[in-house]
Amino acid sequence: MAWTKYQLFLAGLMLTTGSINTLSAKWADMFNAKGCQEEPERPFSHPFLQAVGMFLGEFCCLAAFYILICHDKRRPEPRVNRGQSFNPFLFFPPAMCDMTATSIMYVALNMTSASSFQMLRGAVIIFTGLLSVAFLGRRLAPNQWIGIFITILGLVIVGLADFISGNKDSSHKLSDVITGDLLIIMAQIIVSVQMVLEEKFVYTHDVHPLRAVGTEGFFGFFVLSLLLIPMYFIPVGNFANNPRHVLEDALDAFCQIGHQPLILLALLGNTVSIAFFNFAGISVTKEISATTRMVLDSLRTLVIWVVSLALGWEHFHGLQVLGFLVLLVGTALYNGLHRPLLARIPCCARFANEEEGGSGERERLLNDGQVQTGDNS
């Protein structure tokens, strides 16, 4: 069945805003500006402040939810399911996981390329699959196990591509690239814990997805904003790229923004894009399918890589293309995107139908609007 204009708009919005989210964060990292002291220009390196901006974007989803409810009240027959009452603090543990993982990933984005950053985030299916077996008692289908092993192979290829390019690329030191890649993979372990917590404790309640994203954004925004105060006094040596060598110097960040206003544009792009990306992702799941959302999220990696090449932010590496394709195959197998192809082959149709039935619970959760908050989708 052909897509409607509204469905095409939603798909385009999700792909565009998802790509802008990563690209704008990387763009901010690439600026050089003076700080609060009289000193030469240096890179804008404030990952925790960037994470605060990202959570502000998620927090905006809560405002969008209440605007949607107010608009729905004016209709003769309300259509929006407001969900049942719940304890907001159910969202606190996954929000803290989201906050930690997002902060780590923004630190890593300073050390590696935007395309590798996006590709390596595919590691989340490995840890989510394993944790769902251990803590949710779920049995993974054979295609999911195969998808996990292929994803591991893809991660090795992407890591090898970064290792080779790190010796030739002057924009990032080899040690920084390796550290950044490892931090991204470590962050995916935390993201997988977040997803398991959401599924076990949060999504057993009837909560509207925009309200879920906004509530986690609320906790992440206020907790991380408060943590900026002790971070201003915690020395970390050469790990921090600010004059005082502390974990985060928010005042220095504002001074750099004052000297280079385009940094503010990049930060606003990150904040606004994550809000629209979450809205578009939820709407695509509802209006089209969860499978379409997975495909669009994979295409987002391709868009980020192509734009980074076009802007000269990174160089072409054939091994990275291979790694992306292998990761794409692993993700497709894990999420069951091969089933429609098998269904067209007479001898495999029965196997595809049985496999689809076995993974019905996972598809139901996705179609009920389960979302990854932050840019972890």
Query: What tens-digit pLDDT sequence spans the chain (377 residues)?
Result: 567 888 889 889 999 999 999 999 999 999 999 888 777 888 899 999 999 999 999 999 898 888 888 888 887 777 777 667 778 898 899 999 999 999 999 999 988 888 889 888 888 889 988 888 888 788 888 888 999 999 999 999 988 888 887 655 556 677 888 888 999 999 999 999 988 888 777 667 777 778 888 999 999 999 999 999 999 999 988 888 888 889 999 999 999 999 999 999 999 999 999 988 988 887 787 777 766 777 788 888 889 999 998 988 888 888 888 998 999 898 888 877 766 665 566 655 555 555 554 444 444 433 433 344 445 44
Residue 210 lies in a domain: yes
Provide the whole-model pTM. 0.83
Q: What angle is formed at CA 215 by the lines to CA 54 and CA 249, rounded to 5 degrees?
A: 35
295: containing domain: 5-76+86-352
For the chain, what percentages of helix, strand and coil (3-state, to nearest 5) are there? 75, 0, 25
Residue 363 lies in a domain: no
Residue 367 lies in a domain: no
Contact between 140 and 133 under an 8 Å Cβ cutoff? The reply is: yes
Residue 373 lies in a domain: no
pLDDT at 46 (0 to 100): 93
Residue 365 lies in a domain: no
Residue 197 lies in a domain: yes
Angle between the N-to-C axes of helices 5-29 and 290-310, in degrees from 0 to 180, rounded to the nearest 10: 40
Residue 372 lies in a domain: no
Residue 110 lies in a domain: yes
What domain count does the chain have? 1
